[in-house]
Structure 1
Amino acid sequence: MQEPSPLRVAILGLMLESNRFAPVITEEDFLNRVYLAGDEILEDLRGMDPKLPTEIRGFAAEMDAKGNWVPVPILVGLVEAGGPLDHSFFEASLDEMRRRLEAAGAIDAVYISNHGAMITTEEDDPDGAIFAMVRSVVGSDVPIVATLDLHGNVSDRMVRSVDAIVSYQTNPHVDMLARGKDAAEILHELIRGMRPDVAFIRLPLTPPTVTLLTEAGPYADIINYGQTFLGDDIVNVSILGGFAYSDTAKNGLAIIVTAQRANGSAQRAARAIAEMAWSQHKRFVPRLTPLDEAVARVLEVGRNPDLPAVALADVADNPGGGGNGNTMWILEALHAAGAKGVIVGVINDPLLAEEAAELGEGATFKAVFNRIAPDEYSRRFEADARVLCVRDGDCVGRRGFYARRRMNLGRSVLLDLGGIKVVVISIRTQCADPIFFEMMGVDIGEARAVVVKSRGHFRAGFDEYFAHDQVIEVDAPGLTSPILTRFDFRNFPRPVFPLDQDVEWKVPA
């Protein structure tokens, strides 16, 4: 008996989480991180330290386990969260995806790995445009499965254009391999003839980022409740908190339930989850620590070695949410207070990193942070400094979000500001992995306080040093402040909680 031909599965994606208030993301940003096409994708995927999105690795591993398939690599881009994508580059990427997909010939299925919260300088639903383009090329009968970050903002067009959407379930994101595997399993069910029924409900709720952790809290409760509906009929429940800073008409906590057949089970489950989620909506209010209190805590643990060390999360300047990674409020306040035993990182300042690297290890100089300020939050700060270490910034993630992923932070230096050690990098990156300090020779375990430019992903990377009650989320200015009233949102469907306090809503019939 002749063995059936291997499944030809196209792989593509363009991952960007867009903050409307942040600087525009360009082609250069993608080229500095990940922008691969054709065989480049396969070479990276099979390499020791892939740069590709982790869920693609999970998808490919599960497809390998099931056997008899051929990946058809199209185009995959990945970049740190930032502002809107330059629309001309988006159009060029979309055209390249279309061209390669059309040239690929007969395709049995498609896997799309996107973030879900991308906007461009002219388009508020580019993820939907990619999904719709793929459907138009492959036709109505070819199965398409997509994975999204749980911070994705979901449009009706996105849901209509694909057969199934699978989103992350953990925040910090440490389940991407598992979700890629889920996508592969659903794809095989579709190929075997499953005709899915999908229910989609969006709530008038735009949760601030710090309220979307899944270890505990309201979002964790909703995620866990949603998973109780999995069974014979329900094959996937995805609950996306969304990304408020994209500021689009499709913002709002989204519930997507995929069933094996159209028997009403998807709709019943989605309605039950929506009702439960809305009953919790008033819990999605951020609670941050004022800067002066955070500084006082650092000084206290510095004086008393019996107290546990602390981690200060600069949640308002998170490069993982579009922040520039260079605001000085926390560093300047700690420096002025004479704090000792503190590590700060990673500060994005290419000019400073280059100057310090040229001076060399051991040199002393006046370090000027933000000598050219890219925005109103990036104020100038000067301090006497000594260069302790210079590196090229190439590293492989060790824990959590970046585990086993090859990274490049550009020219990187470690500066000593008189008791405060600061890692300065040249390619904007969220400080979510201890390797960013360790590659500079820093012993995190000896620090009394660590300041990270991150909102939440650092928790999975630094949990070997800091328990939940050792983390302080600091209230400071920045492009990713969880206090949403500080932003001029113009495109949200209103009313929406927590921007609007008295919001009444019922699950639609």
Structure 2
Amino acid sequence: MRILLAGFNHETNTFADSRADDAAFAHGGGFPGFCTGAEVRAALNPEVNLAGAGFLLAAEAAGDEVETLLWTAAVPSGYVVKETYDRIAGEIIARIAAALPADAVYLDLHGAMVAEHAEDGEGELLERIRAVTGPDLPIIVSLDLHANVSQRMMDLSDAMVAFRTYPHVDMAETGRKAHALLTRRMAHGKPFAKAMARIPYMKPICWQSTEDAPARDLYALVGTLEAETGAPSVSYCMGFPAADIPMCGPVVWAYGETPEQAAAACDPLNAAVVAAEMDFEGPLYTPDAAVEKALELNTAGVKPVVIADAQDNPGAGGSSDTMGLIKALVAHDVQGASAGLVYDPEAAKAAHAAGVGGQVTLALGGRSPAKGDSPFEATFTVEALSDGVFQTKGPFYGGRTMGLGLSACLRIGGVRIAVASAKAQLADQEMLRYLGIEPTTENIIVAKSAIHFRADFRPIAGEIITAVAPGEMMMRSTDWTWHNLPDDLRMMPGGPTFAETKTPAKTAADA
């Protein structure tokens, strides 16, 4: 086959204050930034854990010709700027038009992109592509597990396949599945039958780990249903619960060579996810309670205790600079603790000016609009400096070159803070080691992440607990004010429906 490949990835937190502009997509935020043509092949190399990389590897192994058009991503944030969305989407469409004819199009998308003028970012992109390709050219899409899947996305694509792990250690594997699905679609000779069901409740991301029940068992069922029914593909997206849009929420879907086959795979999965509603819950700790619990575990010999600073997770639109947990560590005079990554370019610049061993008096972090947060004003010792370029090694990022700009390890008392000039979710041990912090010997580690850190930190963690410090990614959906959800969608497992809580509609232009 001759296949056209493009990728456009963003997870949009419509409650976050930041915006994804040209600069954000140029950098990539821990993922490859904007690239075209041969640059895409270099970015999607076999060492990285990305769906596009897995697809490219599988396609070339099968002898297919893949024309790599464009790939880009930005760190999760608030809305994608209209001009940026239109520029990138326009270039994808222009490159597809210039590369036709082809046998198929493969798109590496997230599924939860919201632009200032387009609440269904992926559906809008697919519609624009269809205007160029026509209705018959097969389009296969890979999606993040947190996609908010719309009916328009389902209608305009031939098939979509989603990650099955959170932490997302199967991104490349999902790309390989997308290629296998395309191969089966071509052999079938016509579009698959489709079955789709929307799940009636939202799930906080901190309880979505597929390493634990109930998500672990539900995703095992996805594979079982594929095997038992022979369905070409079955997917379950838990949704990104920080998007105030009508298609927000979990979805299950399946493809079949017949409508009966698709339904036979989709219906039991829908029933199982609905039945598991009340299992998506667990304990959440305030900053002080989290530190006290960690110290209690340390006293019992449990080390390191990893505290998830889940509400300031830059992987879900957080600012990665709130100080709630760091202030709690210092207030409790914790020894052998580290926290990261804190996004503060000015602090990193000041540390480089002072040099290793120097002291800097700073108002660190605390610049986001997160309620209850403020900068941490103190004098810090500069323990280590870096240009921010290093290789990741863990299962989430894979073997990727990080470029986090000027970086520094700042120490106050027994607490060390990893500070960077670019946002990236702390999901790899090397993101501490590049600043001289050895995670395996720490007593307490504060990770600005909700789940992805578990992929590389769970093997070394004595215990993991989740905190609700200030941040822009609430672990309780009822802590936000919503305007645009489906009336019957429950805001939390067992919680009220949107109809019971809603306020008048608001759009991106009002934000």
Q: TM-score, normalised by structure 1?
A: 0.92
SS at match of 1:230: helix
CA distance in structure 2 between the partners assigned to 1:299 and 1:371 by the alignment: 25
Tell me, yes or no, if structure 1 residue 493 matches structure 2 residue 490: no
- The aligned counterpart of 2:253 is 256
| Deviates most, 369-378 or 280-289 | 369-378
Tell me, yes or no, if structure 1 residue 72 matches structure 2 residue 71: no
Aligned residues: 490
SS at match of 1:313: strand
Q: 1:182 to 1:308 in 2, by over 3 A?
A: same
- The aligned counterpart of 1:247 is 244
- What whole-Å deviation, never above 9, does each CA across 1:253-272 have from its counterpart, x for those lacking one? 1011011x124111232122
Decide whether the 8 Å contact of 2:47 with 2:398 is kept in 1.
no
Matches within 5 A, 1:106-121: 106-121=101-116
Matches within 5 A, 1:334-353: 334-353=329-348
Tell me, yes or no, if structure 1 residue 311 matches structure 2 residue 311: no
CA distance in structure 1 between the partners assigned to 2:367 and 2:307 by the alignment: 26
Tell me, yes or no, if structure 1 residue 39 matches structure 2 residue 22: no
Question: Structure 1 stretches of 5 or more lacking a match?
Answer: 1-6, 505-509
Q: 1:356 to 1:279 in 2, by over 3 A?
A: same
- The aligned counterpart of 1:268 is 264
Decide whether the 8 Å contact of 2:304 with 2:441 is kept in 1.
no
Decide whether the 8 Å contact of 2:370 with 2:472 is kept in 1.
no
CA distance in structure 1 between the partners assigned to 2:480 and 2:455 by the alignment: 29
CA distance in structure 1 between the partners assigned to 2:87 and 2:74 by the alignment: 16
Decide whether the 8 Å contact of 2:384 with 2:409 is kept in 1.
yes
- What whole-Å deviation, never above 9, does each CA across 1:339-378 have from its counterpart, x for those lacking one? 1100111111111111111111110121321375555455
Matches within 5 A, 1:74-113: 74-113=69-108
- What whole-Å deviation, never above 9, does each CA across 1:176-231 have from its counterpart, x for those lacking one? 11111101111112222343111111122111111211112222222222322113
Tell me, yes or no, if structure 1 residue 15 matches structure 2 residue 9: yes
- The aligned counterpart of 2:474 is 481
Offset at 1:291? 2.5
- The aligned counterpart of 1:406 is 401
- What whole-Å deviation, never above 9, does each CA across 1:267-309 have from its counterpart, x for those lacking one? 232122112211121223353123222111333355x373332
CA distance in structure 2 between the partners assigned to 1:142 and 1:98 by the alignment: 14
**What amino acid does structure 2 have at the position aligned with 1:254?**
V
**What amino acid does structure 2 have at the position aligned with 1:38?**
G
Matches within 5 A, 1:57-456: 57-67=53-63, 69-195=64-190, 196-231=192-227, 233-259=230-256, 261-301=257-297, 304=299, 306-370=301-365, 372-373=367-368, 376=371, 378-456=373-451
**What amino acid does structure 1 have at the position aligned with 2:6?**
L
SS at match of 1:407: strand
**What amino acid does structure 2 have at the position aligned with 1:239?**
Y
Q: 1:319 to 1:457 in 2, by over 3 A?
A: same
SS at match of 1:200: strand
- What whole-Å deviation, never above 9, does each CA across 1:430-479 have from its counterpart, x for those lacking one? 11111111111211121101010000000001123115xx0010122211
Q: 1:496 to 1:286 in 2, by over 3 A?
A: farther
Offset at 1:392? 0.9
- What whole-Å deviation, never above 9, does each CA across 1:26-62 have from its counterpart, x for those lacking one? 111111221112222123335x866xx6111111111
**What amino acid does structure 2 have at the position aligned with 1:352?**
A
Tell me, yes or no, if structure 1 residue 472 matches structure 2 residue 465: yes
CA distance in structure 2 between the partners assigned to 1:286 and 1:463 by the alignment: 17
Measured on the aligned residues, the alpha-carbon RMSD in Å equals 1.9
- What whole-Å deviation, never above 9, does each CA across 1:142-163 have from its counterpart, x for those lacking one? 2111000010000011001111
Decide whether the 8 Å contact of 1:373 with 1:380 is kept in 2.
no
Decide whether the 8 Å contact of 2:6 with 2:70 is kept in 1.
yes
- What whole-Å deviation, never above 9, does each CA across 1:410-429 have from its counterpart, x for those lacking one? 11100111110110001011
CA distance in structure 2 between the partners assigned to 1:100 and 1:21 by the alignment: 33
Offset at 1:492? 1.1
CA distance in structure 1 between the partners assigned to 2:222 and 2:347 by the alignment: 47
Decide whether the 8 Å contact of 2:319 with 2:368 is kept in 1.
no
Q: 1:153 to 1:371 in 2, by over 3 A?
A: closer
Decide whether the 8 Å contact of 1:49 with 1:396 is kept in 2.
no
Decide whether the 8 Å contact of 2:392 with 2:399 is kept in 1.
yes
CA distance in structure 1 between the partners assigned to 2:418 and 2:181 by the alignment: 43
Q: 1:13 to 1:377 in 2, by over 3 A?
A: farther
Question: Structure 2 stretches of 5 or more lacking a match?
Answer: 499-511
Q: TM-score, normalised by structure 2?
A: 0.92
Decide whether the 8 Å contact of 1:204 with 1:494 is kept in 2.
no
CA distance in structure 2 between the partners assigned to 1:308 and 1:139 by the alignment: 58
| Deviates most, 217-226 or 77-86 | 217-226
CA distance in structure 1 between the partners assigned to 2:196 and 2:424 by the alignment: 33
CA distance in structure 2 between the partners assigned to 1:464 and 1:219 by the alignment: 19
Decide whether the 8 Å contact of 1:108 with 1:143 is kept in 2.
yes
SS at match of 2:423: coil
- The aligned counterpart of 2:506 is none
Residue number among 46, 51, 55 corresponding to 1:55 in the alignment: 51
Give me the identity figure in percent: 29
CA distance in structure 2 between the partners assigned to 1:41 and 1:282 by the alignment: 43
CA distance in structure 2 between the partners assigned to 1:306 and 1:245 by the alignment: 37
Residue number among 9, 22, 28 corresponding to 1:27 in the alignment: 22
